Amino acid sequence: MNAIGTEPRGKMVNSFDPASATGLSDRTRNLVQRRAALLGPAYRLFYNDPVEVKSAKGVLLYDAAGNEYLDAYNNVVSVGHCHPRVVDAITEQLRTLCTHTRYIQEGILDYAEDLLGTFGGNIKHVMFTCTGSEANDLAMRIAKHHTGKSGIIITDEAYHGNSDLTASFSPSLGAQSPLGTFVRRVPAPDSYRIPADKIGPLMAERVAAQIQDLERRGEGLAAFIADSMFSSDGIFAHPTDVLGPVIDVVHKAGGLFIADEVQSGFGRSGEKMWGYQRHGISPDIVTMGKPMGNGYPVAAVALSPDIVQNFGRDNRYFNTFGGNSVAMAAAQAVLNVIRDEKLLENSLRVGKVLRDGFADIAGRYEQIGDIRGSGLYVGIELVKDRASKEPDAAAAAAVVNGLRARRVLISATGAKANTLKIRPPLVFSEANADRLLSETEAVFATL
C-alpha cells in the first residue's frame, strides 16, 4: 500500500513526465505542449519519449515518419488493429441504422443470446454500457440495491474505473485519489512471495476480516470485486484455486461476487473465454469492456436474474449509446472473429512461447525474478536480487523505455511498478513473440 507523502502526487507507472523530459524531437515537444494547452493537466502520455501514432494494422503501429512499432501492449484492439471484418461490420451498420434500445432491434437480441451462451452458471441477462467504468459502476449500483448494503472489498492495487464511484475503489489511481469510506482492501494473491497452497485460504481469511469490519461500521458487504488476473496488482494468474474460498466467504455474508473481466475476458487468458472460469467459480455479476468492440466503445454487465429483479422494478436503466445498433454489430463481429480465427488457441500457444523465452532470458539476467501470466497476458517481475526479491522499478522503467526506443511497445504494472506488462492483440504470432524476445534480450544487455 502507498501512503500519502511517500510517493509523488498523481504518480502513474510508465507515464511521461514533461518536467524531466530530455532529447525530445522538436515535433514531439511542440505536440506535447499543444496537448497540455488543449487537454489540460490530467492527461498522461506513455514513455519517456512519447510515441506519436498515425496508422496501424494487425500488431503493428506506425508513427508520422512511417516507422513501424511492434504493439505488444494494446489489449483493446484484441483481434488486431483495423481488423477488416470488424471495420466492415461497423461500416455496414453505420450506413443502415445507428440508434438506441428504446426501440426493438433484433441485432442486440442476437448478440445478447450469443454472448450469454459463453458464461454458464446462472448468468442469464446482459445490460449494455459504453465503457468498463460504466459497467463496474452499474454493477455496484445493482449490488447495493440488491443487498441493501454499501461495502466493497477489493485488492490493494485494484483498478475498476474512472467514475466517481469506481475511482473510489481504484487505489491504483494513486494515493491522492480519494477512496470511499465504504471500501476495504485486501492484499493481492502474490504468488511470488506466498506459498501456493496458502494463497486462497489467506485471501479468504483477509476478506472475512474486512467483512467483519464493514459490518461493525454499519456498511455491511455489497460486493467483492476482482479481476481474476489481478492486472494492476502485478498480474497474478496462478494459482487458480484462489477465488473459490473467497466467493464462499462473500456469499456467506450475503455479498455478491463481481468478476471484473474488462482485462481478463474475451479469451485473453487463452485457457477460457472468461478469466473467472479458470478458477472454477460462478460469479453473480460479470463485467466486461475493453476488447469487446475492438476499439468501438461497448461494454456490458451480465448477471444472474434474481439480482437485478428489484433494481429493474424500482429503476430503469438507459444508456444512450449503450447497446446501440453499431455497438452490437461491432461486438458481434469481434466475437465471431475470436471463434473463427481460434484466438484462444493462439493466445495460449504464443503466450507459452513468450513465457518460455523469458525463462531462457532469465538464465542470463538475474533481474528477472518471476515470470507469470496466462495466454497473452504476461507479467515479468524485476527484482534487485532473487534472494531478497526486492522490487526494481528502475529496471522495469529502463526495459519499457529501452524497448520503446527499439520500437517495441510494452508497459509496467504493480504496486511497486516493477512488473513488465505484456498483453498484445490476440493475433500476436510466434514470429512477433520472437521479435519481442530478441529485442528484450538486447535491452537487458544494456542495463
Grid look-up 453505420 returns 94
Task: Using the minimum distance from each CB to a second copy, give the nearer residue, 55 or 212.
Answer: 55
CB of 384: closest distance to a second copy in angstroms?
28
DSSP letters, 327-363, are: HHHHHHHHHHHHHHTTHHHHHHHHHHHHHHHHHHHHT
**Pick from 79, 81, 56: which is nearest to 69 by CA?**
56
Q: How far is the CB of 251 from a second copy (least distance, A)?
A: 21
Q: Which of 122, 170, 168, 109 is nearest to 309 (CA)?
A: 122
| Residue (313 or 387) nearer to a second copy, CB | 313
Q: How far is the CB of 28 from a second copy (least distance, A)?
A: 7
Displacement of CA 304 from its chain's centroid (Å)? 23
Phi, psi of 324 (to 5 degrees): -70, 165
Nearer to a second copy, 99 or 438 (CB): 99
- One DSSP character per residue, 221-278 reads EEEEEE-TT-TTTT-----SSSHHHHHHHHHHTT-EEEEE-TTTTTTTTSS-SSGGGG
Nearest to a second copy of 239, 312 (CB atom): 312
Cell numbers for 7: 510517493
User: Shortest distance, CB of residue 157 to a second copy, whole angstroms?
Assistant: 15
Q: Please state the closest distance from residue 221 (CB atom) to a second copy, in A.
A: 17
CA angle 417, 421, 427 (to 5 degrees): 170
CB of 84 to a second copy, least distance (A): 8
* Residue 78 or 432 with smaller CB distance to a second copy: 78
Cβ at position 68, least distance to a second copy in Å: 13
CB of 318 to a second copy, least distance (A): 7
For a second copy, give the closer residue by CB, 163 or 336.
Answer: 163
Burial call 387-411: b when 16+ CB within 10 Å, e when fewer: eeeebbbebbbbbbbbbbeebbbbb
Cβ closest to a second copy, residue 126 vs residue 338: 126
Beta carbon nearer to a second copy, 90 or 203: 90
* C-alpha cell belonging to residue 19: 518536467
Q: Is the dihedral of CA 52, 80, 398, 441 positive or negative?
A: negative
Least separation in angstroms between CB 373 and a second copy: 21
SS3 11: coil
The x, y and z cell numbers of residue 90, run together, are 461497423
Residue 88's Cβ-side half-sphere holds a number of Cα atoms within 13 Å equal to 5
Contact 297, 324 (CB under 8 A): no
For cell 501512503, what's the residue?
3
Nearer residue to a second copy within complex by CB, 67 or 99: 99
